[in-house]
Chain A
Amino acid sequence: MTAPGPVAAQAGDAQWAGPLLQIADLRVRFSQRGRQVHAVNGVSYSVWPGTTLAIVGESGSGKTVSSRAVMGLLPGTAAVTGSVRFQGQELLGLTDAQMRSRRGRDMAMVFQDPSRSLNPTMRVGIQVAEAVRAHLRLDRRAAHDRALELLHLVRLPMPRRRFVEYPHQLSGGMRQRVMIAIALACHPKLLIADEATTALDVTTQAQIMELLIELSEQLGMALVLISHDLGLAASYTDEVIVMYAGRIVEQAPTPELFSHVRMPYTKVLLDAIPRLERSSHSLFPVIGGQPPDMVSLPPGCPFAPRCPSAQERCVQENPPLAEHDPGHRWACWYPCPDGSPN
């Protein structure tokens, strides 16, 4: 038996024309020592087939928790509400076994630290083959061939030799390629890359990002890129979502977002990125303060205490996320004037 090709794997879904992934009012709450941590607070977005979406935010903004909720990878202490539909089918409420069968086949995830995601005592080729056999009914020989094919696909140098090596013998970039090979084992329609290049060097990061973009185009796979790096989002994605305190605060097609920043938080983030054009010893125009305590969120806009343009209304009323320009949503009462240079 040979491995089903990408076309065969997708044949059954050819008529599906809606969004691949549709998330509505997703909320995640953790109970911690009697306190309620509101990690994700009403997140809604869609991912269309074959597109690339970036979810950007600081640590604790809920970007990782919300995507793990989508993958059904949160611990039992998490209370997840709302709706997560994959090709129209609701995923929340599925049993672990049902979820397991969908993961890998429908969607897969690549994590930040490839050395911790791989088994240090197993040859990397075997780990890829194991992922193949977990989802496809293949014998050992066919799974082995398919694993080698996948290592070729992710352009691991000398795949035949690397197949029998252990993770510690590979560089960080190569290990991340192996992780991507495992994620691609059964042609997912959606790949979530959670800070997948954060631990890598800039030149390796560029190589891995280009690999991900090429693979997504070659396999018709949608890509969700979770990152704290707006620069990465600008270079490689079609659409950007900016998250703060568990909410989406701005969302727009990439060129639109970077040429017309409206949410003050996005602007602050952009200003804090080191840039080659800035002269030596120039200071960053930064704000003070810290993200709010997720146990007791303020009634108003969560960014108001740090916002340079906050006013009375911001402290009392939380601005809704609304589409103000075509395709451009933001949650702010007093947005930055349009066309402001960033």
Chain B
Amino acid sequence: MIDTLRLTAEEATRLVREKEVSSAELYAAYRAAIDAHDEELHCYLHVCDDDGGEGVPLAVKDVIGTKGIPTTAGSKILEGYLPVYDATVIERCKAHGLRVLGKTNTDEFAMGSSTENSAYGPTRNPWDPTRVPGGSGGGSAAAVAAGLAPWALGSDTGGSIKQPAALCGNVGLRPTYGTVSRYGVVAFASSLDQVGPVARNVRDCALLYSILAGRDPCDTTTVDLPEAVRLPERTDLNGVRIGVPTEFTGHEAIEPGVREAVERTVELARELGAEVGECSLPRSLDYGVPCYYLIAPAEASSNLARYDGVRFGYRSPNGRDRLEMYERSRDEGFGDEPKRRIMVGTYALSAGYYDAYYGQAQKVRTVLIREHAEAFERFDLLLTPTSPTVAFELGAKASNPLAMYLNDLLTIPSCMAGLPGLNVPCGLSEGLPVGVQLIGPQFSENRLFDTGYALEAALGLDPVPERLR
């Protein structure tokens, strides 16, 4: 009997390799778990049939193109779209014997923090189905938490891997910008988008990252890793210098339960041998979100210009001429959040406003990069809460875009700076998961894995949602 709630991907890999379990049995176990629970949770937009291959299954966020498998990005405008090629990350996973189990739910075009912006309905949090799983990658995070996948691919622009991992109690890595190919991935904001792993523990997360990372000639923003990915083993933090940015722990938006769980984790890091000190990123919180909500929509307005009803995707039958066809296809095909971002982005890039909005935001980005670089002169990595709150009720913020944007208050600044961030579960508040975010300099993933692994081992939390145990 395969316990999909507890089996790690590393162990699943070993079981298949040593032929203790067949690939077909493993695939069938996850399919059975999906059949039993996904009607309630709605993690998947599409579930694949066993294609007879060999290897461990993998859930894939539906912004990642999969040849011959529907890829919608959570949008009606891509309903029925069947990619004619695999994204590079899918090719890499397949080359390592991973098999696509299904495509997971996402906010439309990865724009959101709750998965409620999906055109196909929200995903529910496995810890409490009246609550959101976070977003945009709520489907991948919830699937891993509920045992509906051993691990998953996500994508992160301003927190879409880390924030749902925090809210669902799993480990998610937003990699250093440029380490993972975006070729074949639905583009949102190209100077920010990164694909990354979502897993049940830190070692699985590192293992999947080792498969994904590396230069891809098809994505010219990618680079070679300066050092190979190592699976973490150390359980102490001797000599590791951890900075705690005071603005990130003291902010009024942070719930007391989240603050307490993070403070306990800081104390634990100290007990494990880390040298912990305070630092300051004074402008990152005040200006990170405004900066992000100019740059990301501006780039999105450009990237989403391709959905014009000509080459693929939805075409309105109501356009009498070509212009009307474009405008109506886009009006009928996009949901509210992409429309808001296209409008804000187009405005910020338009003549007369470019310098004041987009140009100024690009300069703020430089300020954020410098602030982080300064902190890394004294510290090896930074530790902050990942999300200011635990998972909130479905519908709680759905009618207020600005309130929704603040969910990413703590994840956005390091994304703007191109830095890697790892969410590690650190406790519960009101029975719901709380996560810490470990942020390091560019290409410091191994350091983040080492630290996350030591914390995870010392915390000894049960990753399985209480109601499913």
A and B found bound together: no
Chain A residues proximal to chain B, CB less than 8 Å = none
Point out residues on B near A: beta carbons under 8 Å: none
